[in-house]
A = this chain, B = another copy of it.
Amino acid sequence: MTQIGSPAPEWRISEWLNSDEMLTLEALRGKVVVAFAFQMLCPGCVQESIPQAKRVHETFDGNAVATIGLHTVFEHHEAMRPVSLRAFLHENRIRFPVGVDAHEGDDPLPVTMRAYRMQGTPTLLLIDGAGRLRRQAFGHVPDLALGAEIMALIAQR
């Protein structure tokens, strides 16, 4: 895991869905970034993390908070190709940008997942307006705590 408080490593994305531009952490500087790393066939992601991401996207002002999905596929690679992810986003009415975490060589772990030393999916990343990683959580974070943490970062901008 990247050290909390350190600059968040730039992600490496092979394709963006729900976004016309290549979104970088660099370009999002000034906003609080709430990133949900998920796999479309991970049950905990589908049941908990994706609905929570939608609530974050609907609750917070997009000028202050960027809600981002990261599709970090580390298993069943053939099953979760972008063509399947695209249908998944459509069917689940996911409107926020989702980046496909890039693969390099034969490594089953995608690049961003490895850079953050994520333990699995779902993983939540909170990045402050200065681009520092402030929280990384594997598994479910309750809404009440997440709302408070996001607001604490908004207040510090």
Asked if A27 lies at the interface with its beta carbon under 8 angstroms from chain B, I say no
Q: Closest residue of chain B to A40, judged by CB?
A: B41
Instruction: Report how many copies the assembly holds.
Output: 4
In whole angstroms, what is the CA distance A87 to B60 when docked?
A: 34
CB-contact partner of A87 in B79, B149, B154, under 8 A: B79
Interface size bucket, A side? 35 or more
A41 contacts which chain B residues (CB < 8 A)? 84, 87-88, 91
From residue 106 to 157 of chain A, which have CB atoms closer than 8 A to chain B?
A: 142-152, 154-155
From residue 57 to 116 of chain A, which have CB atoms closer than 8 A to chain B?
A: 59-60, 75-76, 78-80, 83-84, 86-88, 90-92
A-B contacts, 16 of them at CB < 8 A, read A41-B87, A42-B91, A52-B144, A56-B144, A76-B91, A78-B83, A78-B84, A79-B88, A143-B147, A148-B148, A148-B151, A148-B154, A149-B151, A151-B151, A151-B155, A152-B155
